[in-house]
Structure formats: structure tokens, C-alpha cells
Amino acid sequence: MAIDLTNDPSIQSWVNVPDQSNFPIQNLPYGIFSTATKSKRAGIAIGDQILDLVEVASLGHFNGIIDEAVTLFSNEILNPFISLGKDVHKKVRSTVFELLKEGNTALEGKNVLVDQNEASLHLPIQIGDYTDFYSSEEHAVNVGTMFRGKDNALTPNWKHLPVGYHGRSSSIVVSGTPIKRPHGQKMPPGAEAPVFGKSTRMDIELEMGFVVGKSTELGETVPVDKAEDYIFGLMLFNDWSARDIQKWEYVPLGPFLGKNFGSTVSPWIVTLDALEPFRTKGPEQSPTPLPYLQHDVPATFDIQLEVHLKTESGNEGKIATSNFKYLYWNMAQQLAHQTVNGCNLNVGDLCASGTISGPTKDSYGSMLELSWNGQEPIQVGNETRSFLEDNDTITLKGFCDNGELRIGFGEAVGKILK
Amino acid sequence: MAIDLTNDPSIQSWVNVPDQSNFPIQNLPYGIFSTATKSKRAGIAIGDQILDLVEVASLGHFNGIIDEAVTLFSNEILNPFISLGKDVHKKVRSTVFELLKEGNTALEGKNVLVDQNEASLHLPIQIGDYTDFYSSEEHAVNVGTMFRGKDNALTPNWKHLPVGYHGRSSSIVVSGTPIKRPHGQKMPPGAEAPVFGKSTRMDIELEMGFVVGKSTELGETVPVDKAEDYIFGLMLFNDWSARDIQKWEYVPLGPFLGKNFGSTVSPWIVTLDALEPFRTKGPEQSPTPLPYLQHDVPATFDIQLEVHLKTESGNEGKIATSNFKYLYWNMAQQLAHQTVNGCNLNVGDLCASGTISGPTKDSYGSMLELSWNGQEPIQVGNETRSFLEDNDTITLKGFCDNGELRIGFGEAVGKILK
């Protein structure tokens, strides 16, 4: 087998990749796009362009790898492609890498590229089930401290299992989709009865989500050391949260209407293959988890994360800087836990990390933490914010960068409408 | 418009409907079936037969009602049919009623009936999102009393909103599918650290679920007095629960692995049209709910419910008798609440009621309550049970019966495998 050069930072593409681009030839993330003249279809981001996989397929470049590749990539979702499995994904990756490599002229003069500015990007997968974990110790401690006091900040189970719950799939939307401020029941401090109205404590949660790449049968379990075989790739994930609604509703069965009015994902799915150079170890885990969760190998990735806020009047600022590697529980552990009872997975299921907070105040992944429950409003230009105001726009950004190579996720953008 | 006679108890079918059958001509529930020679397709239960809707369509009986009816009913799920809306459902109901009515010979000699004993029944819908409510006051009080004491039995929000949470869609299976006893983390009483092993507190939850019949857009709300327009029909629902796993994991974000290893639905969806003669008022609600939940009209149905347990050694018994009408929150309120924040619905979403317990000990809808947390084991023949043992089979049954008319749901059956 040939040596895999798809992570080699010295290789360039003949497609122009601007400095600081998220999408060099070593990335090759998958998405679904359309243009004024092209119906929804699969594409790969490269520099400022999108490689139209239907066009590439029609030239026969996936012959021998995928049957009916034109039909496959003409789907409005990536699920059928993802279902083909890791071997096919790797072959497509190396084929596209070869085609886009400097010096390769196979696509010369072919109509295979679309300017990203001329394309609409769509939700790339049909999401069956969506799980939201709660895997950042810093976030759990911060929230626990605010609501239960420092001594009871972490619930007794937290260090023994990756706490998670099921969320709403239907309301997961792609970057750029506006989010309407939800109405709901709230119990104001000191009130005797709940009131109905707009949420006044609108928040974000800086998260990442992984896309399940392989289905399992009901009753089947996925061992922790095989779990990455079941992960296709990652996206940025903003788990919008209405804290006032959430607080009143969530005991005893967990969050519901405080969350399910919308979640925003970035449009491109970055594969584990592209992230490989940034693999790293997560935090030490103490106490040692039960054997089915023991995975003491580098199983997370050094992904720098940012939250940007822009107000209606034009003030803007980076309000948080965090990193995926801060998470206490890694994806393999999350997935092993999710299936240890035999719960079955489907391709396209999405598992989000939970808010990714870091150790310092500027690394907290929610307004709730950044403003410490509204007690310490943060500065955005000449305005302050405890929670989100109408027409505020939040942009999540994520990228790996080791000086030689930058693998980015793009953005997950959402504006709060009144 | 002609008078709707489809609920008239005096009308008989030319298909033999045995005494005490669940499926008289006034019921006409939808399901998906297959046989040795017929691929999966839509059917309607009548007596102990199934009316093959593909065959009826091929005879042209749905002309003018449904375009491409043969293709539509050849789908492996009912979602495309359900998406056509209530007007079409009503026309199909009256057409099938007319065709099956005593004296009608249009289907005579046609190959449109299949013996239920010769058919396999399948999960009839593709479920997008599944919500589980917690709408029985008796159940919530029982469980709350056991775990938090009598004075804190109901959480403060319980009488103000229909508490609910999102569950797992992928593991919802049709009646007859065995359920494997799950493994997971448990914290034994008095232990210092959790242990891993099989659940030893396997339980059922006697529930009903409604199938969403009409989609909404993100941001759209469904008023409580229009909510039934968004409900296609009902099924029996067994929300299998591993109490030991659930207890350790569920704080603070709700049930997860204690539930998502499997839920069982009955194969037939009974429409609201068929249930109309059994419409009734639910319990008085005090305090009066907020305006968006006010719905002081008969909005529930008198559906008698039973739980039967059969042990491996052949002992069997009816262990609980309850009624859908006991639920404090009705389906219209659940659906109005679910969408009040703009959360969008898809056709095929499933909303389950939560355990339906009644006022007396023999009407509790879970083993947890029936055995009062294991303190008062129940008798099944010459055996006792606190929770389920390996190879126990649970059968949920449901039917409306007013002496003149019996509209049944059939059964939701599941056997616990070790």
C-alpha cells in the first residue's frame, strides 16, 4: 500500500488556497451545496472553492471505488455516502487529494469548481438521533457551582460516566439560519406562579458534534477502542439555550423546550483522517473509569475554538477562546457509553460534546459562565452583554493549527431574531 | 356532505369480525405488513384479516383521492400517506368503510385480504423525533414519593406544564421484538463506587404514543385548540426502563441509557376518527394552566389498558389495569407545549404519554409502582415479581368498549432476553 501523504503539510493544491484558509488540500471536508444552476449535491471545500463531486464522478474518477457515484453524490444528504464506510471514505480522500494536487491536470478545463460565495450550503446530513453530552469538567463545575454551590458542583456520577441526554433532531439547522427567540414558561425569582413570555436569558453553548459513520444493531455494543471506526467526522455545534425556560422545566427529566427551538451546525464535516495530525491526549481521568470506558490513548484533538458576538449596532468581539482538547470525556468514551446498553446507532446520528469550557474565564463556552449568571456582564465594543439581545449574531469558529498546517471547520453562524 | 356513518355501531362488515375483536369496521387502523409472497406494504386491520391497500389501490378504489395510490401504499412506512393530511385520511376511511360494509360486493373474489396469522407486522412509521411526556399525576406522585418523600413528590413545575423530554428514536421497535436486558453502570446502595453489570431492576412503563400527522416549520407554534389537527393516531407504547441504570445516571440531565435500549409499540395506528365515540374529559386541572395550555373541552379518550405478564415457566396474570383518561395532561396540551417555543414537528414524530397510572394499586403502570420499589412483590401465578426476570414476556393491551362498540389497539408484546 502506498504511503498516505494526505496529511503532508508540504503538498499544495493547484486550486488557490488563501493564507489562513480553513480548507487546504489536507482538509477536504464534505458538505451539501447548491447554486443558481446546480441542485443540491455533495461537495468538498478547497480554498474558497467547492469541488463538485457530481461533476468529478461524471468524469469517472470514482470508478472502481463507488458504483453509481453520480447518483450517490446527487443525493441531498451525505448519509448514503457515509454509509459506504471508512475504506471508501479513505479512497475518495486520496483520489480527491491526488486530483487537486499541484501538477495534476486531470481536472483542467473541467467545470468542477464552484465559488463558495456563489453557493448555498445546506444541512449535510439527515440526523436520526441527536445526543448531547456534558463532557467538559470546567463547564459542569461552573454551572454546578452557580446553581448548587461549590461543594455540590459536580453530581456524583459525573466523573464515572459521560453524562448525556437525547436532544431534538428536527430543529438542528445549518449555519446562517436565523433563530427566533423562543417563548415559554419561566418562574421569575420570588414569583409564586410561572409566567409566559419571551426568553430573556438567551444563551449559546460552544460545542462540537461528531457524525456517526457506521450503524449498529439493537443489542450491539461498540468497544471503546473500536469507537472511532464509528465516527465519520466533526462539525461545530451551537446548542442555543434559553436559560430561564430551561431552569423552570428541567427537573426531573432534563432540558426540553429550553433547548429544542434550534441548534446550529457548521456546514462542513471534517473527517477524522484530516484531524489525525492534531491528535492529542485529553485530561487525566481520576478516578479511573470502569473498564468499558478505559481508553488511555491520545483520543482527542487539538482544535482551537472561538466565539464571536456581533451586535445590531455593529459592535463585535471575540468573547471566548477554548479548545476541544479540554473535554474530560473523549468521543470514543462517549460512543462506547452510548452503546454499552445495546442502544443502536444509525449513520447520520449526531453526538455533541456539551459546552466546551476551558480553565480560564475567557475560555468559557456559554454566556451563563462568561457573565457568571449575569452578575459580571461582558464587554462587546461599547456595549455589555449578560445574555443575547435581539439581532445579536454569534459565530463559532474552529481550527487546528500547528504552524505548518491549518485544518479549519469554517463557521457556525446564527442571529437571534425577536 | 353525507353523514359520516363510520362510527355507527350497528353497521357490520362482510369480513367476519369475531366477538371481542379489536378491529371491527368502525376501527380501520393502519399498519405495515408483509407475507411470504408480499413485500412490505400498507394495510388496514379488519377482524382477523388485513386489507391489503396496494391491492385495493390497484383496483382503482382510491382514484380521485390519492394520485399513484399503488406506489404510495407500497412504501415500507406510512409517513408518505400520513403526510397527505386529514382530508385524505377521512376519504380513505370512508372509502374503505364502504367497501367493507355488509352488502358491498366490489371486492368480492378479489385477492385483497390477508390472514393476520400469515402476516408479519412491522414498525409502521419512520420516527423522526420521539418525546416522552410524564403526564400521569398518579405516576409522578408515586415515583416522587418513593424517591423524594411525600411532601416533595411532585416537582414545582409539574402542575404548570406537561413535563417531557426527548428519547431515543432508533431503538423503538414493533411488538414481538425481543428486548435484551441491558448492561450499564449502577450505584448499589451503600457502595462507594459504581459497578458495571446487567440491570437487575428491569421495568416496564405502560404508555400510549401519538403519531404526529402534520409537519410545522421551525418557529411555528400550534395552538392548543388546533393541536388535534396535528395528530394522526395512537399506539400502545412500552417504555422499557432499567431502574438501577436510570437512577445513577439521570441527574442532572434526565434519563438516557436507562431507557434507550428499547421501546415497544403496537403495530396498528388507531386514528382519532375511530376513537371519536370514546372522547371524554380528563381530570380537573388546578391550578388553571397558563392560557396557551387552557383546553377545557373533552380532549382525551376512554381507553382501557392492561398489562399482562407471562413468566418462563408459564405463569401468567394481568398485573395492571389502567385507563388513558387518567392522564392529567392531554395530547393537545402536550403538543401545544412541545411547539410553544417554535420547535418544529415532522410527520412520524412520536409523542408518548409517560406511564399511565390510575388511582388504585392495581392500576399502576410500572413494576416500580406495583411492587412499591421492590418492597411489595406482586404475585404472578405461584411466582412473585418485583422487577422483570429473564424470559418474562410483557403484553400491553388497549381497547375502548362502550357495550355497543369495541375499538382495540391490539397488543404490544416484548420478551426480556438475558
Q: Which of A77, A126, A129 to mutate to test the interface with B (most CBs of B within 10 A)?
A: A129
**Do residues B380 and B317 touch, judged by C-beta distance below 8 A?**
yes
**Smallest CA–CA distance from A170 into chain B, residue:** B344
- List % helix, strand, coil for chain A (3-state, nearest 5): 20, 30, 50
Q: Are residues A201 and A346 both part of a single domain?
A: yes
Q: Which of B164, B185, B343 sits opposite A161 (nearest CB)?
A: B185
Is A136 labeled as ligand-binding?
A: no
Helix (H) or strand (E) holding B121: strand B120-122
Question: A241 and A307: one domain?
Answer: yes
Q: Please indicate whether, in this complex, the C-beta atoms of A255 and B250 are within 8 angstroms of each other.
A: no
Tell whether B25 is covered by a domain: no
Per-residue pLDDT reduced to its tens digit, B180-206:
999 999 999 999 999 999 999 999 999
Supply the pLDDT for residue A3: 81
- Would you state the torsion angle of the CA atoms of residues B349, B128, B120, B257, taken in this order, to the nearest 10 degrees? -100
Q: How far is A32 from chain B (nearest CA, A)?
A: 20
Can you tell me the distance from the alpha carbon of A22 to that of A306, in angstroms, rounded to the nearest whole number?
A: 14
Cell of B104: 358491498
Between CA B247 and CA B255 the distance in angstroms is 8
B86, B101, B122: which is the final residue of a domain? B122
pLDDT tier at A51, thresholds 50, 70, 90 = very high
What is the three-class DSSP state of A284?
A: coil
* Pair A262, A168 in one domain: yes
Q: Which residues contact A404 (CB under 8 A, 6 or more apart)?
A: A9
- Which of chain B's residues have a Cβ under 8 Å away from the Cβ of A176? none
Of A92, A122, A152, which residue sits at a domain end? A122
Neighbours of A101 (CB within 10 A): 17
Average pLDDT over residues A71-75: 98
Contact indicator for B324, B408 with CB cutoff of 8 Å: no
Are A409 and A266 in contact by the 8 Å Cβ rule? The answer is yes
| Of residues A156, A340, A349, nearest to B183 (C-beta) | A340
Q: Is residue B283 packed enough to be buried (19+ CB in 10 Å), middle (13-18) or exposed (0-12)?
A: middle
Residue B262 and residue B147 share a domain: yes
CA distances from B378 to A397, B175, B398 (A): 57, 24, 22
Asked, for residue A359, whether it belongs to a domain, the answer is: yes
- In the predicted structure, residue B26 carries a pLDDT above the cut 60: yes
The reply to whether B293 falls in a domain is yes
Grid cell listed for A273: 483522517
Judge whether B157 and B215 are in contact, CB under 8 Å: no
Same domain, A210 and A81: no
Give the pLDDT score at A181.
98
Determine, for residues A128 and B345 on separate chains, whether the beta-carbon distance falls below 8 Å: no
* Main-chain dihedrals φ then ψ at residue B286, nearest 5 degrees: -140, 125
Q: How many residues belong to chain A?
A: 418
Q: Are residues A377 and A249 in the same domain?
A: yes
User: In B25-122, which ranges are continuous DSSP H helix?
Assistant: 53-58, 69-73, 79-82, 86-100
User: Which chain A residue's Cα is nearest to B257?
Assistant: A341
CATH number, position B38:
2.30.30.230
Among A141, A160, A165, A294, pick the best mutation site for testing chain B contact (most B Cβ within 10 A): A165
Report pLDDT digits (tens) over B290-316: 999 999 899 999 999 999 999 999 999
List the single residue in A129, A160, A182 with the smallest CB-CB distance to B170: A129
Closest Cα in chain A to B196: A290
Q: In chain B, pLDDT over 70 holds for what percent of residues?
A: 100
- DSSP letter for each residue of A302-335: --EEEEEEE-TTS-EEEEEEEEGGG-SS-HHHHH
By Cβ distance, the residue of A180, A218, A345 closest to B173 is A218
Shortest Cα–Cα distance, B180 to chain A (Å): 6
Are residues A135 and A272 located together in one domain of the fold?
yes
**B3 falls within a domain:** no
Considering only CA atoms, which of B360, B412, B371, B376 is closest in space to residue B202? B371
Spatial CB neighbours of B80, under 8 Å, sequence gap ≥ 6 = B72
Residues B201-225 have pLDDT tens digits of 999 999 999 999 999 999 999 999 9
* One domain for residues B113 and B239: no
Q: What are phi and psi of A167, to 5 degrees?
A: -115, -170
Instruction: Examine the domain organization and report whether A186 and A66 are in the same domain.
Output: no
Chain A hits for B169, CB-CB cut-off 8 Å, are 128-129, 169
Measured CA to CA in angstroms, residue B415 lies from A340, B198, B390 at distances of 20, 16, 8
Contact pairs from chain A to chain B, CB under 8 Å = 186
Per the structure block, which three cell numbers stand in for B233?
393516531
pLDDT at A391 exceeding the cut of 60: yes
User: What percent of chain B has a predicted confidence (pLDDT) above 90?
Assistant: 98
In tens, the pLDDT along A295-348 reads 989 999 999 999 999 999 999 999 999 999 999 999 999 999 999 999 999 999
B405 residue type, one letter? L
Residues of A in contact with B164 (CB under 8 A): 253, 256
The Cα–Cα gap between B264 and B238 comes to 5
Task: Report whether pLDDT(B348) > 80.
Answer: yes
How far away is chain A from the Cα of B379, in angstroms, using its nearest Cα? 29
Q: Provide, as residue numbers in chain A, all residues whose Cβ is less than 8 Å from the Cβ of B351.
A: none
pTM of structure: 0.98
Phi-psi region of A20 (alpha: psi -120 to 50; beta: other; left: phi over 0): left
A245 vs B contacts (CB less than 8 Å): 341
Give the cell for residue A246.
430551561
* The pLDDT value given to residue A148: 85
Cell 482538509 belongs to residue: A27
Q: Tell me the per-residue pLDDT of A84-114, one tens digit each, with 9 for 90 and over.
A: 999 999 999 999 999 999 999 999 999 999 9
Report yes or no: A121 and A175 within 8 Å, Cβ to Cβ. Answer: yes
Q: Is the pLDDT of residue A413 over 90?
A: yes
Determine the distance in angstroms separating the CA of B344 from the nearest CA of chain A, rounded to an integer.
6
Handedness of CA A10, A14, A18, A20 (dihedral sign): negative
Nearest CB neighbour to A182, from listed B177, B254, B342: B342
**pLDDT attached to residue A237:** 99
- pLDDT of the residue at A2: 65
pLDDT at A382 over 90: yes
**Residue A22 belongs to a domain:** no
Which residue in the set A171, A253, A341 is minimally distant from B254, CB to CB? A253
Consult the annotation and say whether A221 binds a ligand: no
- Cβ neighbours of residue A42 under 8 Å, at least 6 residues apart? A30, A31, A32, A53, A54, A72, A73, A74, A75, A78, A81
CA atoms of B287 and B156, how far apart (whole Å): 12
Catalytic positions of B, written as ranges: 139
Q: Which residues of A touch B337 (CB under 8 A)?
A: 257
Choose, out of A166, A199, A250, the residue to mutate when testing the contact with B (most B CBs < 10 Å): A166
Q: Which residues contact A34 (CB under 8 A, 6 or more apart)?
A: A40, A41, A119, A120, A122
- pLDDT tens profile B145-156: 998 899 989 999
- A148 annotated as ligand-binding: yes
The answer for residues whose C-beta is within 8 angstroms of residue B284's C-beta and 6 or more apart is none
User: What is the domain range of residue A57?
Assistant: 30-122
Query: Residue A1 above 80 pLDDT?
Result: no
Instruction: At B134, give phi and psi (nearest 5°).
Output: -150, 55
Q: Is the per-residue pLDDT at B121 higher than 70?
A: yes
Do both A232 and A170 map to the same domain? Answer: yes
- Please state the separation of Cα A4 from the chain's center in Å: 26
Residues in A closer than 8 angstroms to B182, CB to CB, are 341-342
Between chains, do B163 and A338 touch, taking CB under 8 Å as contact?
no
Q: Which of these, B182, B213, B144, B169, lies nearest to B369 by C-alpha position?
A: B144
Catalytic annotation, residues of A: 139
Dig out the grid coordinates for B324 from the structure.
Answer: 388513558
* Partners of residue B322 on adjacent β-strands: B305
Task: Please report residues of B whose CB lies closer than 8 A to that of A255.
Answer: 165, 253-254
Please check the confidence at residue A390 and state whether its pLDDT lies above 90. Answer: yes
DSSP A122: E
Bridge partners of A167? A130
Pair (A74, A143) in one structural domain: no
**Residue B9: inside a domain:** no
Find out whether A243 is annotated in a ligand binding site.
no
- Whats the size of chain B, residue-wise? 418
Distance, in angstroms, between A201 CA and closest chain B CA?
Answer: 14
Residue A250 counted as an annotated binding residue: yes
For residues B269 and B373, state if they share a domain.
Answer: yes
Q: CA B143 to CA A180: how far, in whole Å?
A: 36
Separation in Å, CA of B378 to nearest CA in chain A? 27
In this structure, is residue B236 part of a structural domain?
A: yes
Task: Evaluate if residue B44 carries a pLDDT over 70.
Answer: yes
What average pLDDT score do residues A24-45 get? 98
Among the three residues B95, B122, B149, which one is the final residue of a domain in this structure?
A: B122
Give whole-number Cα distances, B270 to A173, B84, B116, B124, B411, in Å: 33, 17, 17, 12, 12
Put simply, the answer to whether A129 touches B169 (Cβ < 8 Å) is yes
Residue A410 lies in a domain: yes
Domains of chain A: total: 2
Residue B161 to residue A185, Cβ atoms within 8 A: yes
Q: Tell me the H-state helices in B262-330.
A: 272-275
Residue A166 sits in a domain of what CATH number? 3.90.850.10
Position A165: which residue type? Y
